[in-house]
Each structure stands twice: as structure tokens, then as C-alpha cells.
């Protein structure tokens, strides 16, 4: 089996010092022994909450960070000792507004990075035109980047990451802050890349995105891989459960804690959506908790109440909530 | 050839990026007026009013040095703030080749201020642009700019290792003006400043440009010395930059977050 990415017991500790008079050293274990095999041509997802170690893992694999210990190889090359070989073969796209020369045009940004990535001069013009077409920026390439919307910047990031036709593409939360239409186009672009044989390692917060795109998904939390498999395999983590969703207005933390303690309830969490809240209660499949939950919400204005089967997101919540997240060590 | 192309294109695009900053444009236009005024009154108060053009050229070189010092000294930090440092470092090129076009661009944009100094000198103080060796001047100015850009790489790579690099920047601006003889002749300075000035490419760059303007001496030896010292700085800067890149990857300081 040809592997595009292989990591063995990859660890990364950040060390910082705080205070002048009484300095304290803080060691944060961001990644604590990650083992990963990604096959060539695979679209692999890395899911996890904020601070789980996703970006740190990606940055160790793409040579921006040196691991504290462990080894990793990309396309067969070591990420610490053979950085130039690795860099020739990878592209990196991250989410957000930064990372571009704002006062230059999109075309100038692409020309510069094509030169940096060693795209032959004779091919640059055609390659840039192809990518502008692919990401939907053709016709806007001579505008300054500072006038681009967030979605356009994100698409320019993607075009830049693909300039040298990388064998492995790292996408670190590429759809963050992008509107739904642009996010859909982005997913279609990523799926197209995978179809042409590019290996993609994608980190995202969006379950639907991961479920739609990824061949396999790893859930990382507390700096360790907690679960790994296809989306259907991961859903088994929530097997034997049912989910109750209640639209509400004004649920308090105390009420959520109370619901969490009800007989048969496994997890209870609240998400704010605009002016309303969505209370999600996972319970044992054999226990109907709806009446108890509604009783606990007495006095709260309620909207829609729905019972459904567990999704990937429910499985993800189950996996992540079972993890102890205390990675920092403080020494005097 | 590809390296030359990369440096040329990189410099051009970084010059574009710098020149479109309103702050940079305002600075490049207003500071030279102050410097031209300083030069004019300094020499009018002295006994050599015929050396006004020389003084204006010196003030122009001061502007180039300031641009290199602040632009190159803070080059890595600026790229880090923009979020472009990681993207640059991810390219399969030696780190020095990624930063050198930026430091060269700071020297090139410094010439705006030099031109502005001469223009302000002519318009406001009627200093005639009477250059003794125009051809040598036309070669000396770009060569001096190239030399200072090479020196800038050493500044960029070493300043990033220094805590509070901004304070070092501020502390270096005026002393280098002085010991390099940009504003006052080095002969009027204490003897111990001589070796320091002789080791700096800024001294030889200012001297070469001044010689081309006044015809007081042969331009080429000064220019050659400037480029030789600058080449040493470039090599040293490239070595330090490779160390800095590895250290930044180990310490996780390529990004802000």
C-alpha cells in the first residue's frame, strides 16, 4: 500500500515562559503521540474541537513545525531532515483572511508564489489561468486582494496551494467564515482534486463537510487520535442511542446540568443559533426521555421538538466529550 | 538564472506592495523635506555653501539607510504579521532567497526618498543638480542600493534574534548616519569611529555616490569596496537566516498564533 503520509508517535510540546519577577514555565502538550497513515489519493479528514491539536499536527506534517519527538514522512520523505523534498510535493491552504499580499493583485500573488514554488516560467501563465478558472476568479485577477471578499481570498489561497500541482494538499479549516454557497463550491473543488489523484488532508469543524468529502476521518481531541474510520464506522460510537432536539429560548446552564443527570440521558448540550437555542439530548435508545426533558424545561419558551437517529455529529460529540483535556504542565 | 529571476520578480512585487502603503508614501515625501532642510541649514551655517548638493545627496543616502534599517530590520516581523511568513517558508527555496527580495525592495523604496530629497532641495532651496560624473552617478546609485539591500539581509536575520529589535533599530539610525559620513565628513569625527565606519557598506556607498556627484575621487574603488562588504553580509545573512528558520520551526514562531 503506497502511503502519502505516515506519522509515528508524533508529539509536540509548546514551552512558554510567563512573568518577570516570578517566572513560570508552562509546557503544553498539544499533540501527544499521533499515529497516522494516509494512502495516496485518499481524502482524509481530521476532526476535532478547538485546541485539539489539528493545526499542530498539520504543521508538523507540512514542515512548518519540528516535532518534539516521533517521526513523519510525506511522499516517503522525512519532514525534519528532507524538508525541501517534502515542500516540493505539498500544498498548504489555511482558512481566514491572512497570508496574502493585500496590496498586490491576485495575479501578482500567484505569479510570485509560482516563481517561489519553481513552476517553470513557460508554464506559469497557462497554469495560473487554469487555476483562476478553477476557483472562479477569472476576470478579477487584476484587482487588488484588499478589495476581495473573504470567499474570494479563500479561493485565491486554494489557487496558490495548487500552483505547483502538489501530490499532497493540506487544507486547514478552509471553509471557516465562508458563506454557504462559496463553501459548497469549495467542497466541489476539493472533491474534484481528490478525483484527480491528489491526496488531501482536511481539517474542519463542519461534520457535513467531512461526511460528504472524506474517505476516512480521524477524530482528534486532547492531542490524541480518539477514533478513526469511515463516517459510517464512526457513527457506531453513537449506536444504541437516540437523539432529542428541542428548539428553545432561554435555557439556563443549570437546566442543562439537570437534564444531563436525568435517568437514561448520556449527553446534553446547547447550541445557540441566531436568537434561539437548540438543546440536543442523547439518551439510551431504550429510554424515552422526552417527557422528563420537557418537564425540566418548564417555564422556558419552546419551539420545535424532534426525535431522530444519531448522526456523525452526535458520534463526534460522544467521542470528544469522553476525553480528558488537561494538556498544560506548569513548573516554577 | 532562475535565482536572478526570482530575486528580480520578488523585489518588484515587494516594491509594489510597499509603495501602495499610504503611510510609506507620506513618509517618503515628508521626511526628505526635513532632511533636505537639515542638510541645507547645516551647511549654510558652516563655511562651505558650495557643498549644498553634496549635503542633499548625503541626506538622500540617510533616507535610503533609514528605509533599509526599518524595512529590513522588521522584514520578518512584518511578514509574520501579514501571515505570509509561513507561506514563504513553505516554498522549496533557501530561506535567504525568500527574504533577500524584501530587503532589496526596502532599499529600492528608499530611493524614492532620495529623489524626493533632491527635488525638495531644488524646489525649496534652489540647490542645482550639477553632477560631476553623471554616468558614474547612474551606476553608483543602483549599485549602492543593491549593496544596502544585501546588508539588509544580515539586519533582517540578526534582528529577529534580538529581543526588542525595534529599540535596536532606533538606536542604530543616527550613529550609522554619522559614522558613515552621510551628513558630515568622517574627517571631523573622532578617530575611533574610523574603523567602524570602514567596516560598514553604508560608508562606502555614501562615499561612492558623493564622489560621482563632486568628482572629488575615483568612484569605482569605493563602489567595489561597498559591494565586497555587502557580499560578505549577504553570505553571513544567508547562514544566519537558515539558522533562524530552523529555530523558528523548533520554537513555533513562524506564525503569530
Q: What is the CATH number of the domain that holds A74?
A: 3.40.50.300
Evaluate whether A62 touches A170 at the Cβ level (below 8 Å).
yes
All residues of chain A having their beta carbon less than 8 Å from the beta carbon of residue B163 are none
Q: Given the C-alpha cell 530590520, which residue does it identify?
A: B73
Alpha-carbon gap: B20 to the closest alpha carbon of chain A (Å): 6
Number of domains in chain B: 1
Number of domains in chain A: 2
Evaluate whether A219 touches A226 at the Cβ level (below 8 Å).
yes
Q: Is residue A117, in this structure, part of any structural domain at all?
A: yes
Side-chain half-sphere exposure of A272, counting CA atoms within 13 A: 6
Q: Is residue B79, in this structure, part of any structural domain at all?
A: yes
Q: Is residue B163, in this structure, part of any structural domain at all?
A: yes
ipTM value for the complex: 0.85
Strand ranges inside B39-170, DSSP E: none
- pLDDT digit string, tens, across residues A180-219: 887 888 888 888 888 888 999 999 888 888 888 999 999 9
Q: Is residue A308, in this structure, part of any structural domain at all?
A: yes
Domain boundary among A203, A229, A255: A229
All residues of chain A having their beta carbon less than 8 Å from the beta carbon of residue B84 are 98-101
- pLDDT digit string, tens, across residues B216-247: 888 899 999 999 999 999 999 999 999 988 88
Strand partners, A17: A25
Facing residue for B249 by CB, picked from A65, A92, A96: A65
**How far lies A165's CA from each of A175, A199, B215, in Å?**
21, 11, 55
Query: What is the rounded (10 degree) CA torsion for A193, A199, A204, A209?
Result: 50
Evaluate whether A214 touches A24 at the Cβ level (below 8 Å).
no
Judged by CB atoms closer than 8 Å, whether chains meet at B87 and A113 is answered as yes
Q: Is residue B45, in this structure, part of any structural domain at all?
A: yes
Judge whether residue A332 has pLDDT over 90.
no
Q: Is residue B80, in this structure, part of any structural domain at all?
A: yes
Domain boundary among A205, A229, A253: A229
A160 touches chain B (CB under 8 A): yes
CA A150 to chain centre: 18
Clarify whether residues A168 and A197 are in a common domain: yes
Which structural domain, as residue segments, surrounds residue A155? 3-229
- The DSSP letter of residue A233 is H
Clarify whether residues A27 and A102 are in a common domain: yes
Q: Is residue A326, in this structure, part of any structural domain at all?
A: no
- If 0-12 CB within 10 Å is exposed, 13-18 middle and 19+ buried, where does residue A67 land? buried
Judge whether residue B79 has pLDDT over 70.
yes
- The DSSP letter of residue A105 is B
Which structural domain, as residue segments, surrounds residue B102? 2-251
Judged by CB atoms closer than 8 Å, whether chains meet at B252 and A121 is answered as no
Evaluate whether A44 touches A57 at the Cβ level (below 8 Å).
no
Clarify whether residues A219 and A245 are in a common domain: no
Clarify whether residues A200 and A87 are in a common domain: yes
Reported as a pLDDT band with limits 50, 70 and 90, residue A331 is low
Evaluate whether A205 touches A221 at the Cβ level (below 8 Å).
no
Judged by CB atoms closer than 8 Å, whether chains meet at B6 and A116 is answered as yes
Q: Is residue B257, in this structure, part of any structural domain at all?
A: no
Find which of A86-95, A239-248, A265-274 is predicted with most confidence, using mean pLDDT: A86-95
Judge whether residue B122 has pLDDT over 90.
no
SS3 content of chain B, % helix, strand, coil (to 5): 80, 0, 20
Facing residue for B17 by CB, picked from A96, A98, A101: A101
Cell of A287: 429510554
Clarify whether residues A89 and A163 are in a common domain: yes
Clarify whether residues A10 and A75 are in a common domain: yes
pLDDT (mean) for A24-39: 90
Q: Which of A248, A247, A234, A253 is nearest to A313 (CA)?
A: A234
Evaluate whether B50 touches B82 at the Cβ level (below 8 Å).
no
Clarify whether residues A91 and A168 are in a common domain: yes
Q: Is residue B155, in this structure, part of any structural domain at all?
A: yes
* Neighbour count for residue B20 (Cβ, 10 Å): 15
Q: Is residue A222, in this structure, part of any structural domain at all?
A: yes
Query: What is the rounded (10 degree) CA torsion for B30, B33, B34, B35?
Result: 120
Q: Is residue B241, in this structure, part of any structural domain at all?
A: yes
Please state at what angle helix B219-251 crosses helix B95-125, rounded to 10 degrees: 130
CA A149 to chain centre: 22
pTM for this one?
Answer: 0.83
CA A171 to chain centre: 8
Strands A168-172 and A90-94: parallel
Cell of A29: 502538550
Q: Is residue A29, in this structure, part of any structural domain at all?
A: yes
Clarify whether residues A165 and A81 are in a common domain: yes
Clarify whether residues A210 and A272 are in a common domain: no
Reported as a pLDDT band with limits 50, 70 and 90, residue A127 is very high
Q: Given the C-alpha cell 509560482, which residue does it identify?
A: A114
pLDDT of B257: 44
CA A190 to chain centre: 14
Interface of A with B in 259-318 (CB under 8 A): none
Query: What is the rounded (10 degree) CA torsion for A316, A318, A322, A325?
Result: 40
B247 touches chain A (CB under 8 A): no
Positive or negative: CA dihedral A247, A250, A253, A259: negative
Q: Is residue B231, in this structure, part of any structural domain at all?
A: yes
CA distance B209 to A95: 48
Q: Is residue A251, in this structure, part of any structural domain at all?
A: yes
Which string of b and e fits A170-208 if b means at least 16 CB within 10 Å? bbbbbbbebeeebbebbbebbeebbeeebbbbbbbbbbe
For chain A, what percent of residues have pLDDT higher than 70? 97
All residues of chain A having their beta carbon less than 8 Å from the beta carbon of residue B255 are 64
All residues of chain A having their beta carbon less than 8 Å from the beta carbon of residue B88 are 116
pLDDT (mean) for A86-107: 92
Evaluate whether A214 touches A234 at the Cβ level (below 8 Å).
no
CA distance B26 to A67: 45
**How far lies B239's CA from each of B199, B243, B246, in Å?**
19, 7, 11
Judge whether residue A301 has pLDDT over 70.
yes
Side-chain half-sphere exposure of A147, counting CA atoms within 13 A: 9
Domain boundary among A229, A260, A290: A229
Judged by CB atoms closer than 8 Å, whether chains meet at B2 and A118 is answered as yes
Positive or negative: CA dihedral A153, A158, A159, A163: positive
CATH of the domain at A295: 3.30.70.1340
**How far lies A321's CA from each of A49, A127, A216, in Å?**
10, 45, 21
Evaluate whether B59 touches B184 at the Cβ level (below 8 Å).
no
Clarify whether residues A172 and A249 are in a common domain: no
Facing residue for B5 by CB, picked from A64, A84, A115: A115
Please, what is the average pLDDT of chain A?
89
Nearest chain B residue to A61 by CA: give it.
Answer: B90
Nearest chain A residue to B247 by CA: give it.
Answer: A66
Clarify whether residues A91 and A138 are in a common domain: yes
Clarify whether residues A190 and A268 are in a common domain: no
Amino acid at each position: 500500500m503506497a502511503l502519502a503520509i505516515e506519522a509515528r508517535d508524533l508529539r509536540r510540546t509548546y514551552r512558554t515562559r510567563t512573568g518577570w519577577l516570578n517566572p513560570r514555565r508552562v509546557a503544553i502538550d498539544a499533540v501527544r503521540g499521533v499515529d497516522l497513515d494516509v494512502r495516496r489519493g485518499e481524502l482524509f479528514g481530521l476532526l476535532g474541537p478547538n485546541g485539539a491539536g489539528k493545526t499542530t499536527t498539520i504543521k508538523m506534517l507540512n514542515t512548518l513545525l519540528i516535532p518534539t519527538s516521533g517521526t513523519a514522512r510525506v511522499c516517503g520523505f522525512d519532514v525534519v531532515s528532507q524538508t525541501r523534498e517534502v515542500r516540493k510535493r505539498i500544498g498548504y491552504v489555511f482558512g481566514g483572511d491572512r497570508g496574502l499580499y493585500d496590496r498586490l493583485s491576485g495575479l501578482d500573488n500567484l505569479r510570485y508564489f509560482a516563481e517561489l514554488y519553481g513552476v517553470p516560467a513557460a508554464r506559469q501563465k497557462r497554469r495560473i489561468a487554469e487555476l483562476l478558472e478553477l476557483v472562479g476568479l477569472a476576470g478579477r485577477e487584476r484587482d487588488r486582494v484588499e478589495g476581495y471578499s473573504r470567499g474570494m481570498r479563500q479561493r485565491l489561497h486554494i489557487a496558490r496551494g495548487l500552483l505547483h500541482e502538489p501530490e499532497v494538499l493540506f487544507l486547514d479549516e478552509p471553509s471557516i467564515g465562508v458563506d454557504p454557497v462559496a463553501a459548497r463550491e469549495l467542497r466541489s473543488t476539493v472533491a474534484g482534486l481528490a478525483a484527480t489523484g491528489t491526496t488531501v488532508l482536511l481539517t474542519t469543524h463542519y461534520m457535513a463537510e467531512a461526511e460528504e468529502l472524506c474517505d476516512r476521518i480521524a477524530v482528534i481531541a486532547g492531542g490524541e487520535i480518539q477514533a478513526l474510520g469511515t463516517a459510517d464506522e464512526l457513527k457506531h460510537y453513537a449506536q444504541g442511542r437516540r437523539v432529542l432536539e428541542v428548539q428553545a429560548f432561554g435555557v439556563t446552564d443549570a437546566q442543562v446540568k439537570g437534564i444531563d443527570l436525568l435517568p437514561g440521558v448520556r449527553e446534553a448540550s446547547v447550541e445557540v443559533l441566531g436568537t434561539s437555542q437548540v438543546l440536543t439530548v442523547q439518551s439510551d435508545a431504550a429510554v424515552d426521555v422526552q417527557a422528563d426533558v420537557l418537564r425540566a424545561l418548564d417555564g422556558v419558551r419552546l419551539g420545535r421538538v424532534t426525535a431522530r437517529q444519531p448522526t456523525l455529529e452526535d458520534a463526534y460529540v460522544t467521542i470528544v466529550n469522553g476525553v480528558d483535556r488537561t494538556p498544560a504542565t506548569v513548573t516554577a | 538564472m532562475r535565482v536572478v529571476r526570482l530575486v528580480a520578480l520578488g523585489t518588484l512585487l515587494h516594491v509594489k506592495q510597499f509603495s501602495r502603503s499610504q503611510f510609506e508614501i507620506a513618509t517618503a515625501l515628508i521626511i526628505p523635506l526635513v532632511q533636505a532642510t537639515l542638510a541645507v541649514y547645516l551647511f549654510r551655517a558652516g563655511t562651505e555653501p558650495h557643498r549644498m548638493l553634496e549635503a542633499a545627496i548625503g541626506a538622500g543616502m540617510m533616507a535610503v539607510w533609514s528605509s533599509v534599517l526599518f524595512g529590513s530590520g522588521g522584514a520578518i516581523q512584518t511578514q509574520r504579521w501579514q501571515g505570509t511568513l509561513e507561506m514563504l517558508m513553505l516554498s522549496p527555496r533557501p530561506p535567504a532567497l525568500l527574504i533577500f527580495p524584501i530587503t532589496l525592495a526596502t532599499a529600492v523604496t528608499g530611493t524614492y526618498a532620495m529623489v524626493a530629497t533632491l527635488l525638495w532641495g531644488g524646489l525649496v532651496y534652489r540647490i542645482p543638480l550639477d553632477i560631476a560624473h553623471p554616468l558614474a552617478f547612474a551606476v553608483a546609485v543602483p549599485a549602492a542600493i543593491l549593496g544596502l539591500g544585501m546588508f539588509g539581509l544580515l539586519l533582517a536575520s540578526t534582528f529577529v534574534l534580538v529581543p526588542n529589535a525595534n529599540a535596536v533599530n532606533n538606536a542604530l539610525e543616527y550613529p550609522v548616519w554619522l559614522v558613515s559620513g552621510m551628513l558630515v565628513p568622517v574627517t571631523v569625527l573622532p578617530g575611533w569611529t574610523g574603523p567602524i565606519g570602514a567596516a560598514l557598506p553604508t560608508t562606502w556607498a555614501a562615499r561612492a555616490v558623493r564622489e560621482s556627484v563632486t568628482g572629488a575621487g575615483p568612484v569605482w574603488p569605493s563602489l567595489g569596496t561597498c559591494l565586497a562588504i555587502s557580499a560578505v553580509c549577504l553570505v553571513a545573512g544567508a547562514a544566519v537566516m537558515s539558522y533562524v528558520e530552523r529555530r523558528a520551526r523548533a520554537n513555533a514562531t513562524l506564525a503569530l498564533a
